[in-house]
Amino acid sequence: MNNITIFNFKQNQVRTQVINGEPWFCLADCMNGLELKAKTTKMRLDEKGVRKTYTLTKGGQ
């Protein structure tokens, strides 16, 4: 089970969770708070710093 914690950044919710003692942030939520597009930004990030994980929501994964 994923333990998601919500933080507020500039009135935007950012989902986070701790994995192996490290905080992970939802890219889409972070980019929304910074008014950037997550898809474009993801392509510009170093793959070593980005990992894909699925979180359970009411609509599924």
Domain-embedded: residue 53: no
Domain-embedded: residue 56: no
DSSP state of 50: -
Q: Mean pLDDT, to the nearest integer, of 49-56? A: 73
Q: What per-residue confidence (pLDDT) applies to 55? A: 67
Mention every residue, 6+ apart, whose C-beta is less than 8 A from residue 51: 24
Question: What does the block give as tokens for 44?
Answer: 């510009």
pTM over 0.75: no
Q: Is 52 a residue whose pLDDT tops 80?
A: no
Domain-embedded: residue 25: yes
Domain-embedded: residue 57: no
Domain-embedded: residue 18: yes
**Overall domain count for the chain:** 1
Domain-embedded: residue 55: no
For residue range 10-29, list pLDDT tens digits in order.
788 998 988 888 888 888 88
At 2, the pLDDT band (50, 70, 90 cuts) reads low
Q: What per-residue confidence (pLDDT) applies to 43? A: 77
Domain with 27 in it? 5-47
Coil, strand or helix at 17: strand
